[in-house]
Homo-oligomer: A and B are copies of this chain.
Amino acid sequence: MAKNLYSSRVNRVPKSFVREILKATEKPEIISFAGGLPNPNFFPVDDIMQATNKVLSSEGEKVLQYSTTEGYVPLREYIANRYYSDCGITADNIVITNGSQQALDLIAKVFLDVGDNVMLERPGYLGAIQSFSMYEPDFVTVGIQDDGIDLHELEKKINEFKPKLFYAVTNYHNPTGISYSNQNRTALSEIIRTSNTIMIDDNPYGELTFYDKPHVTMKKLLGAQCISLGSFSKIFAPAMRLGWVCADKEIIDKIITMKQASDLHTNYFSQRILYQYLMDSDIDRHINKIREEYKVRRDYMIEMIKEYIPSDIKYTEPDGGMFLWMELPSDIDVMKLFDIANKKNVAFVPGAPFYIGNEENPNLTLRLNYTNSELDDIRNGICSLGEAIASFRR
């Protein structure tokens, strides 16, 4: 096949580093903190079976047929009421997507021409880097701090680069686990409002909070200038690929056109099962259970880090979500650490894929997932990681 048949984007999209890493860690004896998987022990299997039988036996022909591009109206109404009751949002502002990952693709289709500027967090969600890369923009990055985005750097770069889009994960950020404080959000919204930039607030982890103090949403602060993304992957079932995009009606109309051209509509059978589940089961009770279980794991991982990891190594202590982030001193090369740890049967994601290109990547960071391991594995895995780190200092 003649190589020149391929599009120029083929060389722009980073091959998933994590995908390669996960392959390297497939041996069954490995303790993996590498993935971003919810804990399958808390999937509501029985309730899903009941909901499925109900929709199939009452409306089998309907729930198996083609459906509308926007998604099932009552599900979109549910989302508008649950998540956006304070923002004047209705079902007309919501489109159901194949997980929130697809929302990134659709937004890129609506906004990005080759060479447009897109602003990302540094480090930022690697799936967003991959998705936007398909549309060959130029990336601009802004540093993440303990309480949110670096406002000084953000303002400077918005003025200099006038990015079309600013993508952020403001709640329990992937990969660092930090959350934007209310103060940071307010200041951020003031900067965005004076610009022509649209903010994309991706919120897959918002429900996984360990403390009862919800932040003000960027959608409320920014209105039409914010596109808000959400997902049922972390609170229901990731296999069903059910997420959504919430935006101004003018933008939503263009997203619908792109969605229809991309795949007609999201799996309607799964939309109907989810909606039946939401009607018949107590999702808040279910989410509380997940929160409790994840908090136990986060607390235990931090306890183990304190016990087994040298004290000069910094790490975040997330108030929710699925990840914590480590910064290593300069004597430890993270890729070498990955290899040594792998031999000791423990895996993590080195920080590189969360940065744009090598110049940004200090090669001294790593991400740990705590939701998909049980306590014994957390103890043994962090202990092994500690040994791997110690091997640099003998």
Task: Enumerate chain B residues within 8 angstroms of A10, measured Cβ to Cβ.
Answer: 110, 254, 257
Q: Which of A40-48, A166-174, A290-298, A362-370 contacts B (4 or more CB under 8 A)?
A: A40-48
Q: How far is the CA of A1 from the CA of B111 in the complex (A)?
A: 12
A183 at the interface (CB under 8 A from B): no
B250 x A1 contact (CB < 8 A): yes
A10-B110, A10-B254, A111-B6 as given contacts; A264 in contact with B239, CB under 8 Å:
no
Partner of A164, one of B5, B64, B196: B5
* Chain B CB within 10 A, most for which of A15, A16, A57, A263: A263
A127 at the interface (CB under 8 A from B): yes
* Chain B CB within 10 A, most for which of A9, A112, A131: A9
A245-276 with Cβ < 8 A to chain B: 248, 250-251, 254, 257-258, 260-270
B5 x A262 contact (CB < 8 A): no
Number of copies: 2
A254, chain B: closest CB distance, angstroms: 6
A66 at the interface (CB under 8 A from B): yes
A57 x B49 contact (CB < 8 A): yes
A286, chain B: closest CB distance, angstroms: 13
Chain A, residues 57-91, CB within 8 Å of chain B (1/0): the string is 10011111111010000000000000000000000
B267 x A241 contact (CB < 8 A): yes
Task: Enumerate chain B residues within 8 angstroms of A60, measured Cβ to Cβ.
Answer: 43, 45, 48-49
A11, chain B: closest CB distance, angstroms: 10
Partner of A105, one of B19, B250, B261: B261
Partner of A238, one of B56, B64, B97, B127: B64
A16-B257, A49-B52 as given contacts; A264 in contact with B240, CB under 8 Å:
no
Partner of A52, one of B41, B56, B135, B257: B56
A64 x B40 contact (CB < 8 A): yes
B43 x A65 contact (CB < 8 A): yes
Partner of A196, one of B2, B99, B110, B241: B2
A185, chain B: closest CB distance, angstroms: 21
A25-49 with Cβ < 8 A to chain B: 35-38, 40-41, 43, 45, 48-49
Can you give 27 contacting A-B residue pairs, CB < 8 Å?
A: A1-B225, A1-B248, A1-B251, A2-B196, A7-B112, A9-B109, A9-B113, A10-B257, A13-B261, A19-B260, A35-B66, A36-B66, A37-B65, A38-B65, A40-B62, A43-B61, A45-B64, A48-B64, A64-B238, A66-B239, A98-B263, A102-B262, A105-B261, A114-B114, A130-B261, A240-B267, A269-B270
Q: Please list the 7 inter-chain residue pairs (A to B) with the smallest Cβ-Cβ separation, ordered nearest first.
A: A45-B60, A40-B61, A64-B237, A239-B268, A130-B261, A102-B263, A98-B263
